[in-house]
Structure 1
Amino acid sequence: MPEMSEDDLLAVSQLRSSAMRLARRLRHQRVEESLSPTEMGVLGTLARCGKATPGELARREHVQPPSMTRIIAMLEEKGLVRREPHQEDRRQVVVSSTEQAEEILNESRRRRNAWLAGLAEGLDEEEWERLKAAAPVLYKLANL
């Protein structure tokens, strides 16, 4: 990528600031107040990626394995995950989400989508079209 101009640096700064503020506001649209953002993140990872070992979850969520063990224990106590023996390595377990967790995630997504759609109603047609066109690029950035 070539050296950034002042306009590019301003755009990067606005993108960072906007993404952080929007993410913070989205976090306040929680369905289940008893779950921490980290616990919701683990449930989201399980929903996206399927069953995983605690070590895999720790890597994906960028936490230390002992912390993930505690998170899994709390989620299991709440009936949101279950542990099963690993099919190939009996020394390990595989964690999967329960139906209750999937219901919480679905309601959370529904509520956050509705909130964001409500905000989008304040945009004019041209702004909405530009935002829709930018959505795949933002998705790519978020997943690099």
Structure 2
Amino acid sequence: MLTNPPKMSPAANLRSDAGLASALRVTLARLNRRLRRQAAKHSLTATQLATLAAVERHSAITPGELAEQEKVQPPSITRVIAALDERGLIARSPHPTDRRQVTVSVTEAGLALLKEERRRKEAWLAQRLKELTPEEKTVLRQAAQILEKLSKI
């Protein structure tokens, strides 16, 4: 006769690296979904939005450099750049030293979209943070630094 194994408590599951990895994956995915629901009123895909933000961070970047930064294939970034350019959110310019290439940068419309996107998401997060204790906020400040480190590994 098969019996169900006893369920581990969430705290016990977090003691192992595998349990922590699973909990982080689920929690970060859920938080990301909640944040996406706060998006400004636009029809950009998550990839387009991430690319627009990357172009903002790395002004006057070539499509090849952008593909490398975003860890995507050059043909994929070319399609994303075309979509953002068509909407007037980025601009292409001749490369200053290599006539075969172009650079891309964010337009005023792109900056405005990013600003509104960030404002809405940060307002939602700020409201949620008000529900936490000072101790929980201290832990989150530390966790934010650690999560940033994980994102760069």
Does the TM-score normalized on the shorter chain lie above 0.5?
yes
Q: 1:7 aligns with which of 5, 15, 19?
A: 15
Partner of 2:66: 57
The code of the aligned residue for 1:113 comes to: E
In the alignment, structure 1 segments of 5+ residues that lack a partner are none
Partner of 2:138: 129
Identity of aligned residues (%): 46
Deviation at 1:78? Answer: 0.7
Q: TM-score, normalised by structure 2?
A: 0.83
Q: What is the rounded CA distance, in whole Å, between the counterparts of 1:14 and 1:120 in structure 2?
A: 20
The code of the aligned residue for 2:90 comes to: V
In the alignment, structure 2 segments of 5+ residues that lack a partner are 1-12
Deviation at 1:108? Answer: 0.8
My pick for the range that moved more, 22-31 or 35-44, is: 22-31
Q: Over alpha carbons, which structure has the higher Rg?
A: 2
Q: C-alpha deviations, 1:29-75, integer Å up to 9, x for none?
A: 11143111111111110111222111111222232222222211111
Answer yes or no: is 1:30 the counterpart of 2:36.
Answer: no
The code of the aligned residue for 2:16 comes to: D
- Aligned in 2, Cα 1:32/1:143: closer, same or farther, shift over 3 Å? farther
Q: Any residues of structure 2 matched to 1:40-119 within 5 Å, and which?
A: 40-119=49-128
Q: What is the rounded CA distance, in whole Å, between the counterparts of 2:41 and 2:152 in structure 1?
A: 25
**Equivalent residue of 1:117, what SS?**
helix
Q: What is the rounded CA distance, in whole Å, between the counterparts of 1:75 and 1:12 in structure 2?
A: 34
